[in-house]
Amino acid sequence: MQVRPALVVFAWLSVLTGVLYPVVVTVAARGLFPSQAGGSLIREADSVVGSALIGQPFDDPRYFWGRPSATAGFPYNAALSGGSNLGPTNPALIEAVHARVDRLRSADPTNPAPIPIDLVTASGSGLDPHISPEAARYQVDRVARARGLRPDAVRALVLAHVEGRAAGVLGEPRVNVLRLNLALDALP
């Protein structure tokens, strides 16, 4: 009979891959990368204000706005992350992009600069917490005007929050919107 050896192998592999391996990986991750393993939470005082890995909706002109989210239910829904799956010629996507362009133009009607693409299109996950440095620079005058700050001061804050490529070669330079907005709130 082959049933008993099969059940023993199944039990051992279940314990090995379902219990021991996850425990070892979790302990190693918490030891080597404690912040990332804990969700890269951003704390202010004694409370969690968000995660560096998950975007948040900002729509007040006093704040930098992040990349649009296409998650189901509500924006930046981490439980249902995913893109819209709309192709570039889909009328619904074209309409959504036009609506986002109109919203940005109405929020800052004196800005003649071209709108960076990441301010009008959602990412594949719908949770992207970053925007390009160009998208941040596009919003500087609106944010400075809404807060009564000098644009140069806000521009310097953006420049200070540009994160470089991972390991110097991977990805593109980016700005974490939540961290930038928190720094903005900390200005006198």
Q: Which two tokens stand for residue 11?
A: 């039990």
The predicted pLDDT at position 112 comes to: 95
- Total length of the chain: 188
CB contact at 8 A, 28 and 20: no
pLDDT digits (tens, 9 = 90+) for 75-105: 888 888 887 788 889 999 999 999 999 999 9
Identify which of 107, 126, 7 has the alpha carbon closest to the alpha carbon of residue 55. 126
As beta bridge partners, residue 48 has: 43
Residue 165 clears pLDDT 90, i.e. is over it? yes
Residue 134 clears pLDDT 80, i.e. is over it? yes
CB contact at 8 A, 38 and 49: no
What is the residue type of 24?
V
DSSP single-letter state for residue 80: G
Identify which of 61, 51, 158 has the alpha carbon closest to the alpha carbon of residue 105. 61
pLDDT digits (tens, 9 = 90+) for 20-77: 999 999 999 999 988 888 888 898 888 988 888 999 999 999 999 999 998 888 888 8
CB contact at 8 A, 132 and 119: no
